[in-house]
Amino acid sequence: MLFVGTLEPKKNIEGLIRAFFAAKMHRKLPHALVLAGRLGWGMEKLERLIKEHNARDYIFLTGYVPEDALPLVYNLADLCVIPSHVEGFGMPVLEGMACGCPALVSPDAALREVAGEAAASFSANTGSPLQPLREALEELVDEKHGQKLRSDWRAKGLERVKEFTWRRTAELTRASYLKALE
C-alpha cells in the first residue's frame, strides 16, 4: 500500500498508520505500507509512532522520491491511499490512476472531484475515525475479493485520467479568463 505526498498533519498520515496497523493485525495482512515523500511540519513524532506500533518491518518512509521514479513506485503498489483531511488538488490520485494503481481516497471534496467515480473511498466517522479507513483497506486487499475490486478500480482509474489532458486544461483556463474579463 502506498501514500505519495508531503507527510504533514492535513494528510492524515497518523490516521493512515493507525488504520493500516489495525487492519494488518485484524486480518493478518501480508502488505507493507510505504510512505513516499518528505517529512513536513508537525511530523516529528512519526518515527516514534511507527516504533510504538513495532511496525518498522512493514511501514517504510522513503523520503523524497524523484518524479521520474514515481511511475515505478506506483506500479509496485497494490493500492494508492490518500486519506487526507484537506487537499488542494490531489495529484497523487491522478498519478496513481495513470499508472494503473487503484486508489482509495478520503471524503475530501478535492480528492472526490479529481477521482470522480474512479476511486474507492471511505466515509468519515467522528465516533470511530479509524474504522472506515481500516475497513476499506481490509476490503480492497481481501484474499477472496480484493483482487477483483482493485482490478475494477484500476480500469475505472485508467478511463478517468483520460479526462485530464493539457488541452482540456488550456481550454478550461481560457474559459475562466474570458469569464473573468466579462
> For position 44, what pLDDT does the model report?
85
* Domain ranges for the chain: 2-181
Q: What is the pTM of this model?
A: 0.91
DSSP states along 46-94 = HHHHHHHTT-TTTEEEEE---GGGHHHHHHH-S-EEE--SS-SS-HHHH
Tell me if the domain spanning 2-181 has CATH number 3.40.190.10: no
pLDDT, position 62: 96
pLDDT single digits (tens) 76-134: 999 999 999 999 999 999 999 999 999 999 999 999 999 999 999 999 887 888 999 99
